[in-house]
């Protein structure tokens, strides 16, 4: 009997979002819908997240250079989608206006057990 553990080919969050491992901080307007694009080397279906994810939690604001991330464009909806033309996933994250003046870690755990983060600072 053989067992296999499949890992997705995570391609990181795409610009303008920076991953937490970078030296930059994502600066966003509290209450905006933010689009986080990422790749898994193709369409793996819409059931790629582990239970309870994506999630976000408050964190102490890190001392990093912030860069602005604009709200998602027209037609973006909250939740996960796959864009066939680009071969990438998009996740519409509805932020809260109560987060102004704070930082949060956005976290994705995939069904393969890998965890990926991006840190955000919110302004009003």
Residue 16 belongs to a domain: no
In a domain, 5, yes or no: no
Is residue 98 in some structural domain? Answer: yes
pLDDT tens for each residue of the chain, 124 residues long: 887 777 899 999 999 999 887 778 999 999 999 999 999 999 999 999 999 999 999 999 999 889 999 999 888 899 999 999 999 999 999 999 999 999 999 999 999 999 999 999 999 9
Q: How many domains does the chain have?
A: 1
The pLDDT of residue 114 is 95
Let me know: does 24 contact 64? Beta carbons within 8 Å. yes
- 19: in domain: no
pLDDT score at 101: 97
Q: Does some domain include residue 65?
A: yes
Beta bridge partners of 4: none
Write out the residue range of the structural domain in which residue 42 sits.
24-72+82-123
In a domain, 11, yes or no: no
Alpha-carbon distance of 106 to 58, in angstroms, equals 9
Which residue, 68, 72, 112, is CA-closest to 95?
72
* pLDDT of res. 79: 96
Domain contains 9: no
């Amino acid at each position: 009997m053989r067992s296999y553990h499949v890992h997705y080919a995570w391609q990181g969050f795409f610009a303008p979002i920076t991953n937490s491992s970078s030296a930059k901080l994502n600066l966003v307007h509290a209450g905006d819908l933010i689009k986080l694009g990422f790749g898994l080397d193709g369409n793996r279906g819409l059931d790629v997240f582990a239970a309870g994810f994506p999630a976000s939690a408050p964190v102490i604001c890190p001392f990093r250079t912030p860069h602005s991330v604009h709200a998602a464009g027209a037609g973006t909806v909250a939740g996960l989608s796959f864009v066939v033309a680009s071969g990438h996933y998009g996740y519409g994250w509805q932020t809260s206006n109560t987060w102004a003046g704070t930082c949060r870690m956005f976290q994705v755990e995939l069904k393969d057990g890998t965890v990926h983060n991006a840190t955000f600072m919110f302004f009003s």
